[in-house]
Structure 1
Amino acid sequence: MATRYQVILAISLTVLPLVSFGEITKCDKLTSCSCKTDKGVVDLTPLTGTNGPRFKDFPAPSGDKFSWNPCKPFSEGKCKGVAACQIQNLIPPSYFNIGSQDSATFSIDQGLKLTYNADTFFDQPGAPNTARTTKVSLVCDESNDPGELTVDGETPAGSAVYLMTLTSKYACEAIPSSEGGISVGTVLDIILLVGAALYICVGVGFQKYARKAEGREIFPNYSFWVGLPGLIRVEDLWLDTLATMPDDDRCRQLGDYMTNFWGSMFKDISATTGDQFSWNPCKPFTEGGCKNVAACQIQNANPPAYFNIGTQDSAKFQVKNGALTLTYTATTFLGSELEAGFLRTAIITLVCDKTVEGTLKATGEKPASSGKYLMTLTSKYACESSGSDVTVTYSLSVGSILVITFVSLLVVYVAVGVSVQKFVRKAEGKEVIPNLNLWSSLPGLIKAGFLFTVKCGKGGQYDNI
């Protein structure tokens, strides 16, 4: 007596051979060399010849030769801008256009076929027009890369119908990871990279020519980016600076807004003496022979000499003659450390100007050989704030920035999308618009969703959405 599993196995073995797996029943044209099935896409683009036909002068049993190129027109002899060409076995040979790219159609006729048409006029004056048709049978073979073409030629003779068969992995249905072929992540990466490039190029141009910025200030939102690592940190570093200040001056601070976390915020600022000076508020930096300093003198020599003229832990705020100064000190040993050290002092006068992001002017050593180095910072961060928070204002509102970002990304999306569709996927006509099906169906989807919401789901078929 047969068991239940034996019955199931017998039924499976009987039914499965009747089921046709992988048979294509429909393929809607996307381009002249690709079509979309219910499961995926048949795309012959990788077989496209760029400097002539991919399949050139393939012989038929009749002795004639045939050339064919998917996707892109080619010229050979008197065949100009064609998809397929017949080279008749004569002396000299005759060339006949037997199909153009724009006539390409996909159909199911004992398998998937790609058909081309063309009207051909014989060379003789007054000769009749002959409509010629080329039919290429597309046979899927995953192991055949790039593919083989066999040519049957004119079948039957005198019919002006020319048969070929392409056996290739590219005649198989490819199931894309997404509708666009390129993943969403790849598209977002492209948009992000191009958007960043636009941001830098447009921002630098705007800073340099509209705002007349110079030096590092031409980088858009420079203070924001250099201060970002400090803003991300959980610990509020600038509170440490405030803790060392007198109570009366506690509301005066520079904070991390003008701190460079990779080097000096103000680097190699030239003084009238010919020397250069670098300074970084809040965090130590290293430049040349200056190691972990707050300020550095680069003496005008060959090679240049570097001197530590102040450390962060020596910072003091003082008010002299109504002006707020930030003073640093450091002891520098000219020779060996066994010799007496030379005390150097950097004195930075802080000037409040709410219209200036931050500019530093270096006066240099004054008086000469005094070991005192004078600089002046003019900045909105040198102004008193109302409390512990510093409000940073921008000339562009958040809304303006969002609009500029949206428009920039839209332009990038259209430009990159059209390029991919046209040059990578060989799309034509309106198909070059990226995600055409989505955008063309979007109004209908919005309408259906609106009606469903208004009717609270009653009296409608939500499946239509």
Structure 2
Amino acid sequence: MSVNNAILFTLVTLLSLSINNASGECVASTNCKCVMSNGEGYDFSTIPPGPFNGFISSTTIENVIFYFHPCSDASLTVPGKNTNGCNSPKGISLCMYNATNNSSKSLATADKSSPVTLRLNSDPQIIFPFNSSDGSQRTVSIYFLCHHVIDIPTQLVVFNRSEESNFKLYLLSPNACKMAMHVAGLSTGSVLVIILFIFSGIYFLGGALALKLLRGATGWEMLPNQKFWFDLPALVRDGIAFTFNCCRVVSYNEI
């Protein structure tokens, strides 16, 4: 293992121990975005593209390198490496390159990956299932870790292999941090309040203009339904008194 890889592994370990995770499940809205109940969440579509047609290359473990294209598919070409197995015209999202025999294998496309998930006391992750050469089901799990270290770009680190062909990767990026997610559109209550203000403006301004032009009203005479609005405070007072008297009308004869 090189010195640079050792430093990256150490950084991943420290981030894994110190990261402050969310206290609830992050519900996926796309395969690269999820939102928690408190309105915070993760959006990995802003991760900067890597140097190989947008692919981010990983560190090496046992002569294996991964190339990851977050959130969407593309065709991979790496100078000096046989990536014919990963340069599909339709595009891929994850490629595994084996330097031992100079071969590459397309593992998954973005639409075939699992949605980004975040459970209690875990890091946000995307899981890529694939079939190994012996036909068994294997996975590549990519965990996203937030860092704010200046001068360290987005890194993809192969952390370990728990069993044959099962890999765990960490993507370290400032764009992998938790953020406030803005929900598109307005709530029903907001829409109703806006409608109320619009119709109130039309009622008062339109009514005042109509009374001014049709009747030559001035001052308080321009208020539409003037008698009703002047009587409103008394009507409210009577309504409150009626309610506190248990809905019983009090007449002058009873006083």
Task: Give TM-score, length-normalised by structure 2.
Answer: 0.51
Question: How far 1:22 moved relative to its partner?
Answer: 4.5
- The answer to whether the Cα contact below 8 Å between 1:78 and 1:95 also exists between their aligned partners in 2 is yes
Structure 1 residue 110, shift from structure 2 partner: 5.3
**Which residue of the partner structure matches residue 179 of structure 1?**
183
Is the Cα–Cα contact under 8 Å of residues 85 and 98 in structure 1 kept in the other structure? yes
Is 1:170 the counterpart of 2:175? The answer is yes
SS at match of 2:183: coil
CA distance in 2 between partners of 1:21 and 1:48 (Å): 22
Distance 1:168 1:55 in 2: 14
- Cα distance in 2 between the residues matched to 1:45 and 1:110: 23
List gaps (5 residues or longer) in structure 2.
Answer: 1-17, 77-83, 188-208, 214-255
5 Å-filtered alignment, 1:231-250, equals none
User: What SS class does the counterpart of residue 46 from structure 2 fall into?
Assistant: helix
Q: Which of residues 107, 110, 120 is equivalent to 1:101?
A: 110
Which amino acid is the alignment partner of residue 98 of structure 2? Q
Question: Structure 1 pair 51/22, CA: closer, same or farther in 2 (3 Å)?
Answer: closer
Once the 2 structures are TM-superposed, how far is the Cα of residue 51 of structure 1 from its aligned partner?
9.2
Deviations 1:69-109 (A, max 9, x none): 11101233312433211100134x22123333222231437
Aligned to 1:85: 95
Separation (CA, whole Å) in 2 of partners of 1:72 and 1:141: 23
**Aligned residues with identical type, % of pairs:** 16
| Cα distance change of structure 1 residues 31 and 72 upon mapping to structure 2, 3 Å threshold | same
Per-residue CA deviation, residues 436-464 of structure 1 (Å, 9 max, x unaligned), is xxxxxxxxxxxxxxxxxxxxxxxxxxxxx
Could you list the runs of 5+ residues in structure 1 that have no partner in the other structure? 1-19, 123-127, 185-231, 237-465
Task: Please give the alpha-carbon distance, in whole angstroms, between the structure 2 residues aligned to 1:50 and 1:58.
Answer: 10
Distance in 1 (CA, whole Å) between partners of 2:19 and 2:94 is: 32
Distance of 2:177 and 2:50 partners within structure 1: 22
Match of 2:59 in 1: 59
- Structure 1 residues 23 and 59: CA distance shift in structure 2, 3 A: closer
Q: 1:104–1:144: structure 2 CA closer, same or farther, 3 Å change rule?
A: farther
CA contact (8 A) 1:47 1:54 kept: no
- Partner Cα separation in structure 1 for residue 168 and residue 53 of structure 2: 17
Deviations 1:151-205 (A, max 9, x none): 22661352x21221122222222114x412x899xxxxxxxxxxxxxxxxxxxxx
Q: Is 2:164 the partner of 1:155? A: no
Q: 1:144 to 1:32 in 2, by over 3 A?
A: farther
Amino acid at match of 2:171: L
Between the aligned partners of 2:41 and 2:121, the Cα distance in structure 1 is 19
Closer, same or farther in 2 for the Cα pair 1:137/1:50, shift >3 Å? closer
RCO greater where, 1 or 2, for CA within 8 Å and sep 6 or more? 2
Task: Determine the structure 1 residue equivalent to 2:124.
Answer: 113
Q: CA RMSD in A?
A: 4.1
Q: How many residues align?
A: 166
Contact 1:141 1:168 in 2 (8 A): yes
Q: Which among 91, 114, 129 is matched to residue 135 of structure 2?
A: 129
Using a 3 Å threshold, how does the CA distance of structure 1 residues 120 and 57 change in structure 2: closer, same or farther?
same
Aligned to 1:203: none
Larger Cα-atom Rg:
1
Q: Give 2:114's aligned amino acid.
A: A
Which amino acid in structure 1 is aligned with residue 93 of structure 2? A
Q: Could you say which structure has the higher strand fraction? A: 1
Secondary structure of 1:45's partner? Answer: helix
